[in-house]
Amino acid sequence: MTASSTLQTTPLNAAHRALGAKMVDFGGWDMPVNYGSQIAEHDAVRTDAGMFDVSHMCVVDLKGDQVRNFLRGLLANDVNKLQVPGKALYSCMLNPDGFVIDDLIVYYFTETWFRLVVNAGTAVKDVAWIEAQNAATNSGVTITARRDGNDPIALIAVQGPNARAKVWEVLPTAKAASEPMKPFNVVIVPGTAFGEAMIARTGYTGEDGFEIGVPAGQAEALWNALIGAGVKPAGLGARDTLRLEAGMNLYGQDMDETVNPLDAGLAWTIVIDGERDFIGKAALQRMGQNANFVGLILREKGGILRAHQSVVAASGALGEITSGTFSPSMQQAIALARVPLDVAIGDTVHVAIRDKKLAATVVKLPFVRNGKVLAV
């Protein structure tokens, strides 16, 4: 069985199918949702090591003498926080109305070379937007998307408490170049067994690990070598429950071009004070914050928390669930929600599920981090 001709595929598509993965249409990409047991894949990441094909996301290289100044105006977070080569930063990219075009990670290599990793479904839009801003500001930055052409880079995320040890089994020559590496750091290692490798200590699960970029033609060999080291392949299903337990936003669900990032728990990614201007700053200052972004734990039986369910505060004011699931780590229904500003941690709210209003507790995010349940 092969992927539909209407869907895009990553360099690992054949490897997924050889493992018997259940494949689904994920935003126009043919991607594995699981390889048999989503729960087993989730638990592997929390207790050992699992890996995800994230090659549908897009590496974008930005080079030029003015690249730092360009990014200071393009992104809501301030890349001047990146002063040591090999540092990484999470940020939103906003439109002039202050809403979220995309969330991304920016990596700093040299004063003339920064790298972005942007979301799959927004990549074409993102690159067009970046190119338009480059032209409008006459910044002279060279912008190269490294996914579909232009020497493509495949991405594999290896996550879990044993992820780093197992990666070093497969990439022993990279260990000396990479360690000690703190979270949100990155290194480029030439000449590995899988070609030049980008090794970033970042992830989307709430666990330790790496996101590894290699030439697309080497991706399947790296994937199979990691399986040989005991890393369990995991699909989109486990990726979603893991990121939700970790309190991490999903673009298109928890925020998008209709959402004020201050209402999506993303104020920590925005440097709004000071003289630096960036696209969307004035709009954010006008809007301010109008909702709290919190976690919910369902306290009554009778349903699962899902996106778009209404949340009723004690005052009668309404909020909305943005993402919800049944947590494998907690064995409880949990959700991310935007709620009125007067709703506080510890409050009881009610969620409309079919014809019932079920009680839920407002908790501080994350629910789970580094294998430990934090929200009770």
State residue 58's pLDDT score. 98
Asked if domains 13-55+150-244 and 58-145 share a fold, the reply is: no
pLDDT of residue 15: 98
**Residues, the chain:** 376
Residue 31 pLDDT = 98
pLDDT at 179 (0 to 100): 84
Name the residue with higher pLDDT: 301 or 170: 170
Amino acid sitting at position 327: S
Instruction: Please say if the pLDDT value at position 270 is more than 80.
Output: yes
> DSSP state, 193?
B
Q: What does the pLDDT look like over 200-243, one tens digit per residue?
A: 999 999 999 999 999 999 999 999 999 999 999 999 999 999 99
Average pLDDT over every residue of 55-69: 98
CATH fold of the domain at 291-376: Elongation Factor Tu (Ef-tu); domain 3 (2.40.30)
What is the structure's pLDDT at 206? 98
> What pLDDT was estimated at residue 176?
85
What does 274-319 look like in DSSP terms, one character per residue?
SS---TTHHHHHHH----EEEEEEE-SSS----TT-EEE-TTS-EE
Q: Which residue has the tokens 């070379």?
A: 113
Q: Answer yes or no: is pLDDT of 3 > 80.
A: no
Q: Is pLDDT at 134 greater than 70 in this prediction? A: yes
Q: What is the pLDDT of residues 69-97, one digit of tens each?
A: 999 999 999 999 999 999 999 999 999 99
Q: Which residues pair with 366 in a beta bridge?
A: none
**Is 25's pLDDT higher than 90?**
yes
Residue 143 has pLDDT above 70, yes or no: yes
Q: Give Cα 236 to chain centroid, integer Å.
A: 12
Query: Per the structure block, which two tokens stand in for 166?
Result: 């197992």
Task: Determine the average pLDDT of the residues in 152-164.
Answer: 98
Cβ atoms of residues 209 and 166 within 8 Å: no
For the chain, percent of residues with pLDDT exceeding 70: 99
In this predicted model, which residue has the larger pLDDT, 179 or 249? Answer: 249
- Which residue ranges make up each domain of the chain? 13-55+150-244, 58-145, 291-376
Rounded average pLDDT over 347-364: 96
Confidence of residue 282 (pLDDT cuts 50, 70, 90): very high
What confidence category does residue 274 fall into, taking pLDDT thresholds of 50, 70 and 90? very high
For tokens 């018997």, the residue is 20
Number of Cβ atoms within 10 Å of the Cβ of 121:
17
Provide the CATH topology of domain 58-145: Alpha-Beta Plaits (3.30.70)
Give the phi and the psi of residue 51 in degrees, each rounded to 5: -140, 155
Residue 192 to residues 15, 77, 183, 188, Cα–Cα distance (Å): 21, 33, 22, 10
Residues in Cβ contact with 341 at an 8 Å cutoff, skipping those fewer than 6 apart: 289, 290, 291, 292
pLDDT beyond 80 at 5: no
Report percent pLDDT > 90 for the chain.
Answer: 94
pLDDT score for 376: 87
Q: Which residue has the tokens 């972005």?
A: 116
Question: Could you tell me if 154 and 15 are in contact, meaning their C-beta atoms sit under 8 angstroms apart?
Answer: no
* Residue 215 burial (C-beta neighbours within 10 Å; 0-12, 13-18, 19+): middle
DSSP characters for 168-206? Answer: HHH-HHHHHHH-S--TTBEEEEEEEBTEEEEEE---SSS
CATH number for the segment(s) 13-55+150-244: 3.30.1360.120
